[in-house]
Amino acid sequence: AALHAVTPSDADAKEDAAIEEASKKRSRRKKEEAEPPAPPAGRDERIAAAIDATEDADGGDELPPSDLLHHAPPQNMELGKRELDTMGAKLMDALRTFKVEGKLVNRTTGPTVTQYEIEPASGVKVRQFATLSNDLALAMRAASIRIVAPIPGRGAVGVEVPNPTPTMVGFRELVEHADFRSARAGLPIVLGKDLEGKPVIADLAKMPHLLIAGSTGSGKSVCVNTIITSLVYRHTPKTLRFLMVDPKMVELSVYNTLPHMRHKVITDNRDAAAVLKWAVMEMQERYEVLAANGCRNLQDFNKRVQDGTPLKLPRRKDVAFEDSVYRDGILPYIVVIIDEMADLMMTVQGEVETPIAMLAQKARAIGIHLILATQRPSVNVITGLIKANFPSRIAFRVASQIDSRTIIDGGGAEMLLGNGDMLFIPPGKSEPSRLQGAYLSSEETEKLMAWYEAQRDRRRARLAESGFIVEAEMSPDEPDILETVRTREAEARAALDGDGTSSDRSDDGARDPDFRKAAEVCIQNQSGSTSLLQRRLGMGYGRAARVIDQLADAGVLEEHAGPKGRQVKVSLEDLDRICG
């Protein structure tokens, strides 16, 4: 290689670079002396960092593609138009038969029904139309006819007649629609299409809670599924969490795979009451955090978190020195879904009605929203306290006009056709709109859950490649909801006792007969909690709590419970020494 002579300009440049490098080293040394070294990251922090590092690469937080959904079958629109013209002429002939004169001024065709707008002739009263629904249905050989007398804002009466060939509203069509993709809504949900065939996209955050009722086969369960799927198509687990209660055990269990789930689907009514109590506690804690930072709602708080604004935690009077800096990130929306309200009201009404009313009244601003569904819309299920706090409602076909009045404060739901035909009262309105609900098949839901399972398996594989031991179930480091509620209730009972001890604890300090079995169960699971002993040994809550305390006193478990229960301190070989 050729050798180049060093010119004076080259020497000056090298000297300047050396001076700059020395200055940088001095700056770094001063910074290291001023700031204490960060402690080594623990196992949980390293796993969390690895997950964050791989999420962008493997799509850990991406939204599901619409390719998982099916297209709706095509329809012959020209044939339908000719049939609708014939039906309109037949309707006017039937009205003249009953000596009700009027003029057909417009026709609006939806997926399932067509609304004919009839302008009454001079001297014809509106109530003459209202009493003819059954007679017109008989004359036109229709399953049912609903009459809107008058149509709000128009000088006409609406007669809604079922279409000869109804059109299925596909869920995929609405999810891919621009109205859904560009909706500036916190919690956009796909409901279906209106009488004009336009998509109806509602915002659950503005409702802010939703009441759904309808008899068996009316489309209520499909509607709940479309709402859940709409939300997961717009939100990742970081921004949305679900709590689901399914006393029937079959409707919502498929969603246990969803990473958005804050807890597995609840099927026991007592646990459902505990979940609602936890939601109330979460609401109160969120309000305290918002108040400490001067935020009015969840959106304001999360915007400050994303902007990097320093935030603080509320101060507790019982703690003298406490880190008051908020570091938990954004607060996700929480949607609580109860699939069958009637079963809860029959068994634990006293425990669920008050929490539901509290959440309905106060939880809107902090991002907790309720969806209650029932197939028995009686006043015993939809009480006045609940109904007053649910202005947004959906009514599917019901058995009687009384049930219709219970849901939407008026008749009409008893005249619906079923299979997704609904009346929807949006927020801020009193008159219902008739919609045809979107259809989502069980096969599509299963494909969506399989997609989430594949995402989870891919993330685990990447963690394994990074050298981390991946457990069978990876869950966020969050306290168990049921355990949290039971611990709070036990602390409240202990406080009432005065000295913090349970009144039914034995005075002689004798260990429980199943002490060793309980110890073995805890060691095998590498954690101990009252709910674990209740499930594995069939103990009641009070007895399980006493055994956990005995295990802690004996040194088997830690004194204080962590997010996943108390940690185990011994092995199976140590039990002989401990148990004598």
pLDDT at 13: 53
pLDDT at 35: 44
Q: Reply yes or no on whether the pLDDT at 95 is more than 80.
A: yes
206 Cα distance to chain centroid: 15
DSSP letters of 487-547? HHHHHHHHHHHSSS--TTS-TT-PPPTTHHHHHHHHHHHT-B-HHHHHHHH---HHHHHHH
What's the Cα-to-Cα distance from 425 to each of 130, 407, 414, 433, rounded to whole Å?
21, 10, 16, 6
pLDDT at 416: 93
Residue with tokens 């199943």: 514
Q: How confident is the model at residue 336 (pLDDT cuts 50, 70, 90)?
A: very high
Q: Reply yes or no on whether the pLDDT at 504 is more than 70.
A: no
Note the pLDDT tens digit of each residue in 154-169: 889 999 999 988 889 9
How does DSSP classify residue 562? B
Note the pLDDT tens digit of each residue in 131-190: 899 999 999 999 899 999 888 888 899 999 999 888 899 999 999 999 999 888 899 999
pLDDT at 574: 82
Q: Reply yes or no on whether the pLDDT at 317 is more than 50.
A: yes
Per DSSP, the three-state class of 452 is helix
> Per DSSP, which regions of 258-355 are E strands?
333-338
Q: Reply yes or no on whether the pLDDT at 15 is more than 60.
A: no
- Ordered strands of the 433-437 beta sheet: 199-203, 188-193, 433-437, 421-425, 392-395, 210-213, 368-374, 333-338, 240-245
Q: Between these two residues, 251 and 318, which has the higher pLDDT value?
A: 251
pLDDT at 502: 41
Q: Reply yes or no on whether the pLDDT at 19 is more than 60.
A: no
Mean pLDDT over residues 315-336, rounded? 78
The region, left, alpha or beta by phi > 0 then psi within -120 to 50, assigned to residue 507 is alpha
Q: Between these two residues, 65 and 525, which has the higher pLDDT value?
A: 65
pLDDT at 497: 55
| Euclidean distance between CA atoms 347 and 313, whole angstroms | 38
Beta pairing class for 333-338 and 421-425: unpaired
Q: How confident is the model at residue 323 (pLDDT cuts 50, 70, 90)?
A: low
In 10 A of CB 498, how many CB atoms? Answer: 8
Q: Reply yes or no on whether the pLDDT at 227 is more than 90.
A: yes
Q: How confident is the model at residue 40 (pLDDT cuts 50, 70, 90)?
A: very low
| Euclidean distance between CA atoms 343 and 248, whole angstroms | 9
Q: Between these two residues, 403 and 491, which has the higher pLDDT value?
A: 403
pLDDT at 360: 92
The region, left, alpha or beta by phi > 0 then psi within -120 to 50, assigned to residue 512 is beta
CA dihedral 284, 289, 294, 295 (to 10 degrees): -70
61-65, 332-336, 372-376, range with greatest mean pLDDT? 332-336
Element (H, E) at 135: helix 133-140
Note the pLDDT tens digit of each residue in 409-431: 888 999 999 899 999 999 888 88
pLDDT at 477: 57
Note the pLDDT tens digit of each residue in 448-486: 999 999 998 888 888 777 766 554 444 445 788 888 888
pLDDT at 209: 95
Q: Between these two residues, 493 and 172, which has the higher pLDDT value?
A: 172
Mean pLDDT over residues 485-493, rounded? 80
Structure tokens at 250: 């079959």
Mean pLDDT over residues 223-237, rounded? 96
Give the CA angle between residues 569, 570, 573 to the nearest 5°.
175
Q: Which long-range contacts (CB under 8 A, 24 or more apart) does 407-412 make?
A: 407/211, 407/213, 407/377, 407/382, 408/432, 412/146
Q: Between these two residues, 1 and 114, which has the higher pLDDT value?
A: 114
Mean pLDDT over residues 112-127, rounded? 92
Note the pLDDT tens digit of each residue in 546-563: 898 899 888 898 876 665
- Among 244-258, 277-291, 553-567, the least confident range: 553-567
119-123, 321-325, 347-351, range with greatest mean pLDDT? 119-123
- As a whole number, the mean pLDDT across the chain is 83
Cβ atoms of residues 78 and 159 within 8 Å: no
439-458 burial string, b = 16+ CB within 10 Å, else e?
A: bbeeebbeebbeebeebeee
pLDDT at 319: 54
Query: How much of the chain, in percent, has pLDDT values that exceed 90?
Result: 45
pLDDT at 27: 56
- Domains parsed from the chain with CATH numbers: 77-162 (3.30.980.40), 171-449 (3.40.50.300), 481-579 (1.10.10.10)
